[in-house]
Amino acid sequence: MKNPRAKVLVINGPNLSLLGERQPEIYGKYTLEDICNEMQKVAEGENIHLDFFQSDSEGEIVTRIGQAKGNYDFIIINPAGYTHTSVAIRDAIEAVDIPCIEVHLSNIYKREEFRQRSLIAGVSRGQIAGFGKDSYILAVMAISRILKSSES
């Protein structure tokens, strides 16, 4: 890929490495690798470079967000269980000042009450939830549309 239009860091939080095995009735039967491969295909067609990171550790996620400053144009993040609890991840996103899109496989607003509050939403450009693996694809497409509108 020559001179990508954007470099995007895709961050996946705790337990997402268990996709395909963990509660497939909620999260689907596809693996995280399946999702990353589909995202990559779409991103290549849009001349967007993706780097992927997954961790179950809040501290590692915060560190990776901090390392993104000056290296990435966008962040796509599925903070998973940290969505509802991590002020540290929220603060890191706010500190690096990189446009962020929050994604969720399930519609968090149709789930348990404690899952219906996102600490990340307030520092994100937008949130995409409830479309399964397509939530991630829609995030890549949103970045492409943002880039196209800024180029014209």
% of residues, the chain, pLDDT over 70: 90
Q: Which of 27, 72, 82, 136 is catalytic?
A: 27
Percent of the chain with pLDDT over 90: 72
Top pLDDT among 152 and 81 is at 81
82 tagged catalytic:
no
Task: Work out the pLDDT band at 37, boundaries 50, 70, 90.
Answer: very high
**Catalytic position from the list 30, 49, 82, 104:** 104
The pLDDT of residue 110 is above 90? no
Q: Give the CA diameter of the chain.
A: 46
Q: Looking at residue 116, what is its pLDDT?
A: 65
Q: Indicate if the pLDDT at residue 139 is higher than 60.
A: yes
Kindly indicate whether the domain formed by 6-151 is annotated with CATH number 3.40.50.9100: yes
Cα separation of 45 and 10, whole Å?
Answer: 17
Please say whether the beta carbons of 14 and 21 come within 8 A: no
- Average pLDDT estimate for 111-132: 86
Domain ranges of the chain: 6-151
> What is the DSSP code string of 107-138?
-GGGS-GGGG--SSGGGSSEEEESSTTHHHHH
Lowest pLDDT segment from 14-28, 84-98, 138-152? 14-28
Active site residue 84: no
128 has pLDDT over 80: yes
Structure tokens at 112: 């348990």
